Amino acid sequence: MSDRAIDTLFLEERRYPPPAEFAAQANAQPGIYDVAAEEFWAREAQERVTWFEPFDAVLEWELPYAKWFTGGTLNVCFNCVDRHVEAGLGDRVAYFWEGEPEGDRRALTYADLQREVVRFANALKELGVEKGSHVALYLGMTPELAIAMLACTRIGAAHTVVFGGFSAESLSDRMNDFGATVLVTQDEAWRRGGTVPLKRISDEAMAAAPKVERCLVVRRTGGDVPMAAGRDTWYHELDVSDDPSTCPCEPMDAEDLLFLMYTSGTTAKPKGIMHTTAGYLVGVAASHSYIFDLKPESDVFWCSADIGWITGHSYIVYGPLCNAATSVLFEGTPDFPDKDRWWDVVERYGVTILYTAPTAIRSHMKWGPEYAERHDLSSLRLLGSVGEPINPEAWVWYHEHIGGGRCPVVDTWWQTETGMVLITPLPGITTLKPGSATKPFPTVEAGVIDEAGNEVGPGGGGYLVIKSPWPAMTRGIYGDDARFRETYWTRAPGLYFAGDGARIDRDGDFWLLGRVDDVMNVSGHRISTIEVESALVDHPNVAEAAVCGRADATTGQAIVAYVTVKGGVDPTVELMAELRNHVAAKIGPIAKPANVVFTPELPKTRSGKIMRRLLRDVAENRPLGDTTTLADPAVVSEIADRASEAPAED
C-alpha cells in the first residue's frame, strides 16, 4: 500500500461502539482478555472437545514447533458429528446446502451427516484407505466435500483439499508432494450455468501422479466421464453400510496430522502447510464461538468462502461442526443467475451471521444496494470479513446496506499458517473502526517490528509478528523444515513473521497493510509472483517475465505481467491472450494476469536482479523513484509507455 493510502487510513475517525444489547448477550465478556494463555486454552480444550484420553500437558514449545494437548487422544469426526447425535441433537440441521442450479437444495441434519460420513468412510476403506493414509480431495462445494473430509478424519487418514479451480498440474504437484494414494473427485462441477470437468482434469493429474492408485468419483452433474477400470470407482455404485457401528471413530493422538493445505509462497513451489488434530480443533472451535458470537441453537452461520481454502476448512467445516452449528453451504457464485442470489440465500435460510471477503463486498457495492434491498435481511445480526485489508468505504457500505446499521462487523486477520483467526474485534466488547482488524484474539501476542527487528511505536509501519504460540498454528511445511524456519522464523529470532505489513495506532489497534513479500492477493487468493513468472516462461515464445500486483478497486490486487518475447516472435494482441490462457491452464484461472505488457527488456539492477518495486510503481502509475541502480535506466521509461497502452482484461 502506498504511504498516501496508509495516511488516509489513519484519518479514519468513525467509531462504532458495541450496541448494549449485543454486549449483554455476547459469548465474549471483557474478562476474556485477562486469562493467562495456558489456563485459557486448557479450559477451552476441556469444554469444547470430547477426549478419549485426557491430555497431560497444555503446551510444549520448542521454537518453531509447538505441541498442544500432548498425551490426549480424540477424534475430529466424533467431535464434529457423532457426539452431537449422541447428545440428542441429531435433528438439528448441520448444513443447508444450496446448489448452484436454482431449486437444487438439501438440508442435512447431524443424524444425516453421521450416516453419510459413515458411508463415505466405509467406501474409502473399500479402496484401501486406513489410518495414516494420505487422501487428496478435488471437489466443488457439495456436501460430499465436507463429508469426505470428515470421513478421512473418522478413520485417521490425512487429507489435502485442492481448490476446484486449480489446474491438472497444480493438482498433480500437490498430490505428489503429499504422497496421496487415493483421490476423491466428482464428475463435473457447476460453474455459472456451465460445467468444470473435474474428473477429466483429475485424469490428467493422475497421469502425472504415479502414487495415486485409486480414484473415487462422486456424481454431481451426471455428465459423461471416462472411468479407468481397476482405478476409478463411482461412489454411488459402492454398496457400503451407513451404520455407525460398522465404522468406529479412530482414536488419534493430539499431534497426529489432520490435513495439509497448500499455499503460495515466494518460490514457484507451493508449501504444504501442516495442521494437526487437537490444537487445530480447539483453536477453530473457540475462535468461531467468540468471534462470531455463535449461539448454536438459534444461529444460521454462512461463511461464503470455498472449502478449498483455509477459511472453508476452519469456518465452514471444523469450527462450526465442532460447535454443533447450523451453516449454509453454497455451491454457486454471487451473481448467478442474478446479482441478488446471495441475498435470496440469506432470506431463505434466515442467515444470522455472514462471513465473507472484501472483494465480494466491493462487487456488491459496484452493482448497487438495490439487489440487497429486494430481500429481507433482517435476520442478520453479525457480519465478518476476511482475506485482505478491507477499505473503510467497503466496511461502511457492508455495515449499512447489508447489516442495516445494526450488525457489528468483525474484520478478521489470519492465514493458512495460523489455522485460526488471530487479530479481530470481539463483538460486544470491541469498539470498531472501519478498516482496522483491531486487537489480537485473547492470549495472542502480536507486534510490529522494523527492518532491524525493533518494535515500532504507535503509528509507525512495519512487519507484523506473532510473539508466542497458539493452538491452531501450523506444525510446519510438509517435508521441508529448512523452508519453514527460513520463511517464518528468521526475520526476527523467536518471532513468527507473517509476511504482512501492519501499523498499530494509539489505541493499540492493528491496521493491516497487505503483503510485504512476493505474494499477491487477488480477490483474497494468495498467488506467488514467481509461480506466475514460471508459468509464463514455460511458454515457448517467452524469453523472460516479471510479475507484480497492482491495486484494483474490486479485486484488491490485479496481476500485471511484463514479458520479453524471444527473438523473431511478434508481440501481438493474440499472443497476449494466449499467454493469459497459458497461465490459467498451468496454475488455474485465478492466476490469470489482468494485463500483459510486452517489453524489450526488464528493469534489472547491475547484479541482474529484477526490480519488482519499480514494476509495481509503473503498474500503479506512481512517480518512479531512484533508478540509478539500474543497469539501463532508459528501459523503465519505455516500459512505462507500453504499460500505459496495454489493454486490461476483466
**CB of 326 within 8 A of CB of 299?**
yes
CB of 259 vs ligand WTA, minimal distance in Å = 14
Distance CA 195, CA 177 (A): 28
- Which of 283, 389 has the CB closer to ligand WTA? 389
**CB of 319 within 8 A of CB of 80?**
no
**CB of 135 within 8 A of CB of 129?**
yes
Return the range that interacts with ligand WTA (CB under 6 A); candidates 197-205, 408-416, 479-487, 590-598: 408-416
Kindly tell me which residue out of 67, 134, 526, 550 binds ligand WTA, with binding defined by CB under 6 A.
526
- Which of 186, 311 has the CB closer to ligand WTA? 311
Is residue 595 involved in binding ligand WTA (CB under 6 A)? no
CB of 385 vs ligand WTA, minimal distance in Å = 6
- Number of chain residues interacting with ligand WTA (CB under 6 A): 22
Instruction: Look up residue 545 and give its three cell numbers.
Output: 517475465
Residue 16's Cα: distance from chain center in Å? 27
Return the range that interacts with ligand WTA (CB under 6 A); candidates 233-241, 413-421, 538-546, 618-626: 413-421
Distance CA 649, CA 619 (A): 14
- Which of 72, 499 has the CB closer to ligand WTA? 499
- Which of 427, 499 has the CB closer to ligand WTA? 499
First to last CA, the chain: 22
- Which of 521, 595 has the CB closer to ligand WTA? 521
Is residue 515 involved in binding ligand WTA (CB under 6 A)? yes
Is residue 521 involved in binding ligand WTA (CB under 6 A)? yes
- Which of 108, 390 has the CB closer to ligand WTA? 390
CB of 340 vs ligand WTA, minimal distance in Å = 26
Q: Where are the alpha helices (DSSP H) in 310-357?
A: 310-312, 319-322, 341-349
53-82 per-residue burial string, b: 16 or more CB within 10 A, e: under 16 = eebeebbeeeebbbbbbbebbbbbbbbbbb
CB of 613 vs ligand WTA, minimal distance in Å = 18
Is residue 321 involved in binding ligand WTA (CB under 6 A)? no
**CB of 584 within 8 A of CB of 561?**
no
Residues 369-398 that bind ligand WTA (CB under 6 A): 386-389
- Which of 302, 371 has the CB closer to ligand WTA? 302
What residue type is 250 in one-letter code? E
Is residue 500 involved in binding ligand WTA (CB under 6 A)? yes
Distance CA 310, CA 549 (A): 22
Is residue 412 involved in binding ligand WTA (CB under 6 A)? yes
CB of 441 vs ligand WTA, minimal distance in Å = 12
Return the range that interacts with ligand WTA (CB under 6 A); candidates 169-177, 411-419, 477-485, 618-626: 411-419
Distance CA 290, CA 273 (A): 25
- Which of 75, 416 has the CB closer to ligand WTA? 416
Closest CA to 316 of 300, 334, 328: 328
Kindly tell me which residue out of 124, 281, 512, 596 binds ligand WTA, with binding defined by CB under 6 A.
512
Pairing of strands 382-386, 353-356: parallel
Query: What is the CB neighbour count within 10 angstroms for residue 245?
Result: 7
Q: HSE (CB half, 13 Å, CA atoms) of 137?
A: 31
Kindly tell me which residue out of 415, 436, 557, 595 binds ligand WTA, with binding defined by CB under 6 A.
415
Is residue 437 involved in binding ligand WTA (CB under 6 A)? yes
Instruction: Look up residue 57 and give its three cell numbers.
Output: 500437558
**CB of 211 within 8 A of CB of 179?**
yes
Q: Is residue 89 packed enough to be buried (19+ CB in 10 Å), middle (13-18) or exposed (0-12)? A: middle
Is residue 474 involved in binding ligand WTA (CB under 6 A)? no
What is each CA distance from 533 to 162, 206, 246, 649, in whole angstroms?
Answer: 21, 25, 50, 18
Return the range that interacts with ligand WTA (CB under 6 A); candidates 2-10, 412-420, 547-555, 630-638: 412-420
What residue type is 582 in one-letter code? H
- Which of 147, 512 has the CB closer to ligand WTA? 512
- Which of 261, 542 has the CB closer to ligand WTA? 261
CB of 276 vs ligand WTA, minimal distance in Å = 17
Residues 258-317 that bind ligand WTA (CB under 6 A): 263, 309-311
**CB of 355 within 8 A of CB of 386?**
yes
What residue type is 333 in one-letter code? T
CB of 447 vs ligand WTA, minimal distance in Å = 16
Return the range that interacts with ligand WTA (CB under 6 A); candidates 62-70, 455-463, 493-501, 611-619: 493-501
Enter the DSSP assignment of 191.
E
- Which of 263, 276 has the CB closer to ligand WTA? 263
**CB of 72 within 8 A of CB of 304?**
no
Is residue 326 involved in binding ligand WTA (CB under 6 A)? no
CB of 361 vs ligand WTA, minimal distance in Å = 12
Pairing of strands 271-276, 257-263: antiparallel
CB of 520 vs ligand WTA, minimal distance in Å = 10
**CB of 272 within 8 A of CB of 177?**
yes
- Give the binding site for ligand WTA (CB under 6 A): 263, 309-311, 386-389, 411-416, 437, 498-500, 512, 515, 521, 526
